[in-house]
Each structure stands twice: as C-alpha cells, then as structure tokens.
A = this chain, B = another copy of it.
Amino acid sequence: MRLTKFFLPTLKETPAEAQIASHRLMLRAGAIRQASAGIYSWLPLGFRVLKKIEQIVREEQDAAGFQEMLMPTIQPAELWRESGRYDDYGKEMLRIQDRHERDMLFGPTNEELITDIFRASVRSYRDLPQLLYHIQWKFRDEVRPRFGVMRGREFLMKDSYSFDLDYEAAKRSYNKMFIAYLRTFERMGLKAIPMRADSGPIGGDMSHEFVILAETGESEVGCHRDFIDMDWISSDIGYEDDLQPLVDGFTAKYAATDDQRDGEQEKALGDDLVVGRGIEVGHIFHFGNKYSKAMNALVTGPDGADVAVEMGSYGIGVSRLVGAIIEAFHDDDGIIWPEPVAPFRVGLINIKVGDDACAEACGNLYEALQAGGVEVLYDDRDLRPGVKFAGMDLIGLPWQVVVGPRGLKNGLVELKERKTGERQELSIESVLARLAT
C-alpha cells in the first residue's frame, strides 16, 4: 500500500481526553476515531490489526473443535426474562423498544440466545458435546466509558459456548478452551497468565481470567514469579487427548485476580510473589446447569431420563486486545506491534521523493517484497525525512527500510527493527532475503 493512497489521518497533537498509552497512540496513529463516548470507528490501520487478531482467535477456536456461527446483535428481552437476567443486568444493558413496542436489547453476551438455539435443536446425549462460538459486536452501556477500546461501550467479543452431559465432560470442554486461550495469546506475543477468578454475575463454580501484566491494568493481581518466565505452549495440542495434566500444570501455582487474592498464600510465597496491575483479555467459565435449568435445555441421557445440560462460556475481548497489546508493547515514540498482528510487516521510506534512483530502488523493493508475500506500507509522500521517520515509529511496523541517495550510491539501504531500534546498512538483496521469508 502506498501511503499517498492510504487513509491514515495521524494526529500531531496528543488528544487531551486520552489517559492511557493505547488510547493516545491509537488516536494519534489514525487507527481509530471516536464516534461517540466509548464507541469507535476503526480506520484502515486499526482495522487491519483488528482483523489479524480476530483471525488468530478464529484459527485457535477451530483447532480446538469449536464451530463458528453468528448470532445477531439485537436480542428479544423475553429470553433474558426466562433466565432472570433481564432485571439483574441493570443499566449496563442497552434496552431498546422496536416500532411495535416490543422489548429488545443490544446483546452484552449470548448465553440466553445460544441456549435457545441449543434447546430447539439438540435432544439426545448422543449429540453432545456441542461446541459453538461467534465473533460479534456487543454493547455494554458503561457509566463512564474511557481508556479507548479498552473499556468501550461497543466492543468486539469472541464468545464460545459448550454443552455437555455431565460435569466430567464439561470439564473436558473447559480444558480445551483453557489451552486454546493460552495458545491464542501466545501467538500474539502476549504472556497471558491464567488466574483464578470470580465467576461474577454470569454465575458458576469454575472460572479463570487470562491476564496480561501492564502498568495501566485495571486492577491489582498477584501471582507466583514463575509465571513471568513460564514456557507456554508451543507444540501441537491433541485436543482429544486428556488435557487435565497440562491444565493442572498451569494452575498449580498461585495466581489470583483482585477479588480472589489470598493474603496468607501471598505471604507464604515471600519473594516468589509478584504483585502488579493486570489487564483481562480473556475469561472462561463453567456454570453448570444455571441456564439450562432456567431455560429448560434438556437432553435425554443414556438412561432415558431428561438432564439439564452442563454449560460453559468463554470470552476473548477482540477489540480490547488491540489496546492491551499496545499497553504491553510501546515506547515514547509510538506503538511496537508484534509481527503476527502488525497492520503491515514493513514500512518502506523513500527519504528523497523526486530522486530517480530512490524512486526506482523503492519501487523495486516494494514490488519484490509484495511478490514475496510481505505486507508493505510504502511512504512515498513528499515530506521531510524527520516527519516520515517519526510517523513510521508512531504506527509501529516491525521493520523499516529506509532508502536514501547517499546509501544508494554504494548500493545500500538501511534496515531498522522497530522493537530494538537496531539499524543495519544492507544491500537490497540482503534486505529482501531477510524480510521475504
């Protein structure tokens, strides 16, 4: 993509309303623009990151044997009256009346709707488990939306649901998601620590939050020091194998969110205790038959008797992750995208637009990198080099290739790694060999 054609409205000023780095940087980098309080438009740069995160989430859900579907944003109130949550949810639920004055709502989550689909379709234990997910926009009408996409009102969530015959089977589904979540976050370059968590208003008796440590985290968490440098999951997983030992390995040591912290356990840890602020990026719940009982989601068991199914739900904040990743990876100059979610892998800078040799070298590099499957943003704007360097640092592409007349005389261009700031002078062939892998 040529920058002269790319819609990238970066800001020179730091927006006053943005209190944390990710919010500030996303606005400055032209990744998002506020439509109204807590509601954002994703401009092309931010949209590309959002789609990459969504795709990683999708691939790991599919790998774990969950099937994608899509439920609507607008739900009928009657289902939420069945579960009893229509009143419980309070003002966070965006309530709507349609033209016929029927009570509707913008879904903040989908337990009721998926249970309704399940109970209409599945009648026998033989058709269990059912493992379903969707990636859809949700709405929670926060009193004071802030921190940009980290705590917005309209947000993109991946939510999965499992339906099983009994607790043991439900545990197997829970474990699949536990492991799939570790893999998902790891693929984005994040260390997300699974922490014992309160099951909250959603109800249930087994729950883990996946938490990134970052200074701007929304709450204080405590965990064993070993989690900081833990070896996560890099090998392939057999999702039909017994995952319990693996899950036990990740949950044996102390790790707890704010309201689950235990003073005595923490004291006993001594120097092994790490206390820091955490950002929640995923949350998994087993909640038994809370909804299936209330909503009459029954299957016939092996003995012929009806059983209310065991359910779990599993959420990843897809749009929130864009902000969380920036909180984890940025410096004073801007964003530092991990490669798997970067909007482009390479930023190509022509520092002397109008110079024939520079134009030719850049044109060749641009074509060759794209031919090698590399996503390139080519800054072909006629601006001062300093402006272009600062802009490229701000938007945080992993690699920068800088082409100028002086280097070209010796057949050299500069390769800069955004993360380390390391620069190397290389021939064009070497740059291609390094990047077009």
**Which A residues form the contact surface with B (CB < 8 A)?**
5-7, 9, 30, 33, 35-36, 39-44, 47, 50, 65, 67-76, 91-92, 94, 96, 98-99, 102, 104, 106, 113, 116-117, 120-122, 130, 132, 137, 139, 141, 143, 153-154
Contact = CB atoms under 8 A, between A and B. Distances in A.
B154 A74 contact: yes
B73 A154 contact: yes
A76 B154 CA distance: 13
12 contacts: A5-B65, A33-B120, A35-B71, A35-B75, A35-B113, A36-B74, A41-B71, A42-B69, A73-B106, A73-B137, A92-B99, A94-B96
A365 B59 CA distance: 24
A30 B120 CA distance: 11
Contact of A9 (B47, B76, B120): B120
A106 B50 CA distance: 22
Contacts of A113: 35, 41
A373 to B, nearest CB: 16
A215 to B, nearest CB: 28
B44 A69 contact: yes
Contacts of A47: 68-70
A99 B143 contact: yes
Contact of A122 (B9, B75, B116, B121): B9
Nearest to A30: B121
A141 B106 contact: no
Nearest to A132: B7
Contacts of A104: 36
B35 A76 contact: yes
A43 B98 contact: no
B67 A44 contact: yes
Nearest to A65: B5
Nearest to A114: B41
Contact of A36 (B5, B35, B75): B75
A69 B141 contact: no
Given A67-B7, A99-B91, A120-B33, A154 B72 contact: yes
Given A36-B104, A117-B43, A121-B9, A137 B72 contact: yes
Contacts of A72: 35, 39-41, 137, 154
A152 to B, nearest CB: 9
Nearest to A91: B99
Contacts of A106: 73-74, 96, 106
Given A74-B106, A96-B96, 11 more contacts: A9-B120, A33-B120, A35-B71, A36-B75, A36-B76, A39-B72, A41-B72, A43-B117, A72-B137, A74-B153, A98-B141
Nearest to A104: B36
A229 to B, nearest CB: 37
A129 to B, nearest CB: 9
